[in-house]
Chain A
């Protein structure tokens, strides 16, 4: 376990070395935050209480989205690198090391997410808070629940993208599936519009898919919409998806390893 803790720390540090890139990213997040916030304001003026949010909650949702965009890696992250390693055969060098491939990349990605939460999350949120009347959690308990929801969101995001990356063992070209996964993440996480806005079957489906754990669930926890039993079921929903997807990743990983070891890729 100490190995993976060390990997996690390096995953964090790896991103911390690129300070200019981080600042540029914060700037981009902030600009997008403004653009989307004004769009939402226009929308909520016409349709107040759309999706059950008041205007303040809707604008807060926008800035939460900007703050979590990188943390739960809605645009993707490590999978491009892993796919490259699979395609070039470098993944072979990962297989003869006495470390578990999935845990290794998970530790790396949690380290990365930790950095992005601080580096790309806090500043845009603060900038949003300066110019818009944002909702802030009332109690430390809500903050704690929110951070837990974010952590579970990070694990689910990793597990989904790990499956996407492993597909490269069979597809060889991962571009298509990465793009598809990224589109799904942006739409079904609630990044475009809160999932509560979608009516009927689409809304039910969107809220049941794992991507909702990447933004919608943590945002609702933050906004204090989920408390008590609803909070427990929201976190439970995330935990179940995390376990299911990590487990699926393990199965696919052993199939992929067998494929490489027995057939030679």
Chain B
């Protein structure tokens, strides 16, 4: 194999048959194309964000990666294995965390669930102890190991689940909303931990999330999926260019003025002496400021970066017509 691609999607499709009520007794069958021809490769050791609106096809893709779902067409390969054909063989090499589901044993202390993970994945003793120590330290689990899972808070449980997924040293880690419902401190802890695992062990991470801060802090590469299609695959910075995003210059003048007229910006809001001016994210702010300062009594200014949510929202809204 020439390439180091660990995860490979080749023209993958997943079509669901859905029955819909069409009359008192009549049911109409129709097709839902949850994934509609997606191709990508993820090399070993990369951390990739996999994002898109609800119902875009993210979970369906992750399920195909784990082998829980079989593609209707195309080919999925993970670590050289066809997931749906050899689900159990692959299972020993991947870790999965579904933020809203737990694999921990509800009534028993966290430690018991880990003990079962050790047996299930046949983790050698020394390895297990080293991994557990690391997880306990980085995820702050020391006081939680002997607490029954039902008594853990959401953030604690999530950390517990992430540790469970990482104890067997998976080559690939799929995270589905790993920070959902967590407070700021827990989120930071989880992100630091993931960064460390990726850097130290070269674990390949595929991250599905609605919290774009996760992506901004962890992933250099982002894939945006919408209506079952890959609408963007590249660096975080490139998202802005593609999404036609605009930055906003907030300027304060020394008095109330009519909307400014300067090339390259347009005034979108006026509030007393303050005005909001939009300009393309790709343009440099400095010459604009110089031009403004030359013609208007400028007192103060600040530049606001476009929120990545808006960029993606615009991108997905735009693709709807396709």
Contacts and interface: CB of A to CB of B under 8 A. Distances in A.
B94 to A, nearest CB: 7
A184 interface: no
A92 interface: yes
Interface string A241-265: 0000000000000000000111110
Interface string B92-118: 101010100101010110001001100
Contacts of B101: 88-90, 92-93
B119 interface: yes
Interface in A61-107: 88-90, 92-93, 95-99
A240 to B, nearest CB: 30
A113 interface: no
Q: Which 8 A-B pairs have the closest CB atoms?
A: A3-B119, A98-B91, A96-B66, A14-B107, A92-B68, A6-B119, A90-B101, A98-B92
Contact of A3 (B16, B87, B91, B116): B116
B75 interface: no
Contacts of A88: 101
Contacts of A7: 116
A96 B83 CA distance: 10
Main secondary structure of the interface of B (DSSP, over half): mixed
A17 B119 contact: no
Nearest to A94: B103
A89 B103 CA distance: 13
A263 B68 contact: no
Contacts of B121: 98
B148 interface: yes
A19 interface: no
B63 interface: yes
B108 A264 contact: no
B147 interface: no
B322 interface: no
Contacts of A97: 91, 103, 120
Main secondary structure of the interface of A (DSSP, over half): helix
A134 to B, nearest CB: 34
Interface of A: 2-3, 6-7, 10, 13-14, 17, 88-90, 92-93, 95-99, 260-264
Contacts of A89: 101
B68 A261 contact: yes
Interface in B33-88: 34, 60, 63, 66-70, 84, 87-88
Given A261-B68, A261-B69, A98 B88 contact: yes
Contact of B120 (A17, A92, A98): A98
A97 B93 CA distance: 10
Contacts of A92: 63, 68, 101
B221 interface: no
A13 B148 CA distance: 12
A88 B100 CA distance: 11
Contact of A261 (B16, B67, B103, B120): B67
A172 to B, nearest CB: 13
A96 B91 CA distance: 6
A92 B14 CA distance: 17
B96 A93 contact: yes
Contacts of B66: 96
A264 B14 contact: yes
A10 B105 contact: yes
Contacts of A261: 67-70, 84, 87
